[in-house]
Amino acid sequence: MKFFASILTSILVMITLSYSPVVKSADVGALLAGICENVAADDKSRFRKKLKEAGVKLRNIYSGISCGGEPLVRYAIKNGAISTGEFIVKRLPASHFASSGDAEWATGNGFTDSPIVKAIAER
């Protein structure tokens, strides 16, 4: 009886270890286009939905995304996407903004009064 139980347990462990769930395959181009469109439209809920559907975290992909040749935060500032821009700022680590120069860029380009810049300063 012990032999049968140990064989059954071994088989179940092997099946569990060999099972790989189907990974969501997101079309990267559509994801990026959707992200940029949602930032430009200041549609925070759709922006969050795109990230969730793709199964990614913003902080993990932020450095690889640019919209209109600008990082997402700067793109949000230029387009006046306040709620989406503040969401982006909250999702990134504070250490990112210490070295990014986003606040300085905004000040140099006349966006000093933007609530997004204020959110960056609070971080």
For residue range 76-102, what is the model confidence (pLDDT) as tens digits? 999 999 999 999 999 999 888 888 899
5 domain-assigned: no
Establish if 19 belongs to a structural domain: no
Question: Confidence band (pLDDT; 50, 70, 90) for 5?
Answer: low
Q: Report if residue 97 sits inside a domain.
A: yes
Whether 68 is covered by a domain: the verdict is yes
Q: Let me know the angle formed at the C-alpha of 34 by 46 and 73, rounded to the nearest 5 degrees.
A: 80
Whether residue 108 has pLDDT greater than 90: yes
- Distance, in Å, from the CA atom of 31 to the CA atom of 119, rounded to the nearest integer, reads 26
Does any domain span residue 16? Answer: no
Q: Reply yes or no on whether the pLDDT at 103 is more than 50.
A: yes
Structural domain containing residue 115: 26-122
Residue the block writes with tokens 């088989």 = 11
User: Is 14 a member of any domain?
Assistant: no
Q: Is residue 20 part of a domain?
A: no
For 33-69, write each residue's pLDDT tens digit.
788 999 999 999 999 998 888 888 999 889 888 898 9
Is residue 37 included in any domain, yes or no? yes
